[in-house]
Structure 1
Amino acid sequence: MKRFALVLLQTLVVLALALAWPFLSRRDAWESASFELPWLLLGLAIVPFLLWWGTAGQDQRTPRLRIGTVLPFVTGPRGVRAKLRDLPGVLRAVSVALLVTAIARPISILRDERSDDKGIDIVVALDLSGSMRAILDAKPGDLPGRITLPRGKRLTRLDTAKIVLQDFISRRKTDRIGVVVFGKSAYVLSPPTLDYHLLSELVGKMTLDVIDGSSTAIGDGLATAVARLRRSDAHSKVIVLLTDGDNKEGLVSPQYATHLATSVGAQISTIQIGNDDEVDVEDGFDPLGQPRYVRRRYPVNPELLKWIAKTTNGEAYIATDAQALAQSMHAVLDKLEKTRFEASRGSFEDLFPFLLVPGVVLVGLDALLRAWLLRRFP
């Protein structure tokens, strides 16, 4: 009974000393702690067995020799080391308890941090009609990134728009961006999202053959973009219309689509790609496999685009080259009022190191005591 009380006292003292540093370092954090892997705490069930195995159980495993009298052992070891013979077993049991608890990964939600993030909801309506095959040459420094083209290959209006749009997406941090494409009809490529990586990949995979590009339905493209902003809770809602033609098709007129935009509080900024001049258009390949170009003229309607922008308090731009297109895209954001989104973020802290360190220290101390001060001999 006396030995049991001593083992219990040693266990409580070792446990208190081991937990002193974690408690004093993160007192408030432990009050709100939770476990990421709570089922691992079932491993604590082996701790009582280890405590018995390293103390009383060890005596049962010690070899014995029967002798006629025990009088010669009356003067045997009775000092401090004899009383502490169970300490290594206590250290091992407590260390396992700490390590098992650390593996269960305790974490603490210290506080809710609130920050004001500025952002807007943007939908880019991109023209994918056949006229986007026209060439829009760019100098090496006009476009972001390192563009490498095959010999004889020139950038089309769509190629340039994709590069500029991907750069536009990469520069955003808190703006939700969506993309609508339109030709003869309009389609949603992506609703407004913060997943810029996925959005950039989707933009990069766009081709002129993905939809019917035989005509241009500006009204349908704008109406589809407005539909993606209808339920937006952002204060600033913006549609960026990139087109190189005039409205010739569609179920919704550009005028009515503009009215829908004003009804949801969306601004429309228009970017006219190219003008009414003749341009080179890729038209198949020659016998040597090189692209062949022909001269064509595609009609534009700058008055319509200016009216759309003016009616919705937006801006109208004309981009006749790649550099102007990039500058127009970035000028759109410079003129917009930022919306503040109040974001609540939980501040998490991993607490397992505060249990792992004393657990490892106790393992080392156990090994040291067994090999040095408290060695047992049969």
Structure 2
Amino acid sequence: MLSFSYPWLGLLILLPVVMFFSPKHLTRQIALRFSHFDKLIEVTGTQPNSGAVVITPLWWQRILICLTYLSLVIAATKPVWLGEPVAIEQSGREMMVAVDLSGSMEARDFVDPEGIAVRRVDGVKLLLNDFLSQREGDRIGLIAFGDEAYLQAPFTDDFTIISQLLSEMDVRMAGAGTALGDAIGVAVNHFEHSQANNKVLILMTDGRDTTSKYPPIDAAHFAGEHEITIYPIAIGDATNVGEEGIDFDMLERIANYTGGRVFTALNGDDLVEVYTALNQLEETLFDSYTIRPKFELYYWPLTVAVTLNLIMLLIAAQKRRKGDLHG
């Protein structure tokens, strides 16, 4: 469908008509007085006329002027061609990721793709960057927790921001303890305004709670009541004991209360099952809107005007050159 961005500029097409019927402007100039003017006319054999000399354009010049002005007026209205409406829908899943930054995440029992044992927290960063690359269309939120739990980013599809925040995280940045229950509580509070059909919390931790004000099991019950599914991902070697040991019992209880499942991540390949489970979740329609493709057409009348004037200039120059040769 043809449309004009500035249709009111089309009134400029009436300007030449107004100028044609407007009073002519006459400029008075001092004339040379000659006492024997009559004798001069007799000698030269000419007839006197008014002092104003109007050069009348040729027929093709009149047409060129009209077409040029018409083209400029049409271009000024900025014509556009509107395509067929296209419905755009944004759908996906909303997931909150909570990252443990406690002192136990300093343990070097995570194997990177090159086979080198790195810190658990560095392994988490590797896993989450790979995770983000698999989540096109989804919205991800980020929580960091140690002695306290802090929301780092609300739900967003700008994964560049999430990656940047992850790169800046480090062990003990939020304290040396593990406030596992508080992290779940922060996630539940943030999900209150979510309209997603499936609410998912991915809990990346060693699972040994130490400083929570809100007990993890109670927090899991609270999350289950709000229909939030928790997928704990145990980071590190399951055979470790003591401070660096993984509390699988607690992670299993948290997952069971919310309908989730515990996963173990010693390397990047262990997340394949996580991706499979998440991809089976129903997507939620976040937003829906309609757009119409717009194609600018203003340059077409401008091209016509420039082309016609160039052709006429070339023709006039050619005629003038032939005249000079014959002269």
Q: Compute the TM-score of the two structures, normalised by the length of structure 1.
A: 0.66
- What corresponds to 1:134 in structure 2? 107
Contact 2:101-2:121 at 8 Å conserved across structures:
yes
Q: 1:123 aligns with which of 96, 108, 129?
A: 96
Is it true that 1:264 corresponds to 2:226 in the alignment? Answer: yes
Amino acid corresponding to residue 172 of structure 1 in structure 2:
R
Q: 1:277 aligns with which of 232, 239, 252?
A: 239
Amino acid corresponding to residue 363 of structure 1 in structure 2:
V
Q: 2:65 aligns with which of 89, 92, 96?
A: 89
1:324 CA drift (Å): 4.4
Amino acid corresponding to residue 85 of structure 1 in structure 2:
Q
Amino acid corresponding to residue 290 of structure 2 in structure 1:
R
Secondary structure of the residue aligned to 1:85 is helix
Give the 3 Å change call, closer, same or farther, for CA 323–134 of structure 1 in structure 2.
same
Is it true that 1:358 corresponds to 2:301 in the alignment? Answer: yes
CA distance in structure 1 between the partners assigned to 2:2 and 2:233 by the alignment: 54
Secondary structure of the residue aligned to 1:86 is helix
CA distance in structure 2 between the partners assigned to 1:268 and 1:253 by the alignment: 15
- Matched ranges for 1:132-171 at <5 A: 132-140=105-113, 155-171=118-134
Q: 1:309 aligns with which of 251, 255, 258?
A: 255
Residues 218-277 of structure 1, C-alpha deviations (whole Å, 9 max, x = no match): 100111111111110011110001101311112111122112212221111111112453
Q: Compute the TM-score of the two structures, normalised by the length of structure 2.
A: 0.76
CA distance in structure 1 between the partners assigned to 2:179 and 2:311 by the alignment: 82
Larger radius of gyration: 2
- Matched ranges for 1:55-204 at <5 A: 68-69=46-47, 82-102=58-78, 107=80, 110=83, 112-115=85-88, 117-140=90-113, 155-204=118-167
Secondary structure of the residue aligned to 1:277 is coil
Secondary structure of the residue aligned to 1:131 is helix
- What corresponds to 1:323 in structure 2? 268
1:217 CA drift (Å): 0.9
Contact 1:44-1:100 at 8 Å conserved across structures:
no
Q: 1:333 aligns with which of 272, 278, 288?
A: 278
1:137 CA drift (Å): 4.0
- What corresponds to 1:367 in structure 2? 310
CA RMSD of aligned residues (A): 3.7
> Identity, % of aligned pairs?
28
Secondary structure of the residue aligned to 2:163 is helix
- What corresponds to 1:288 in structure 2? none
When the two structures are aligned, how many residues end up with a matched partner?
292
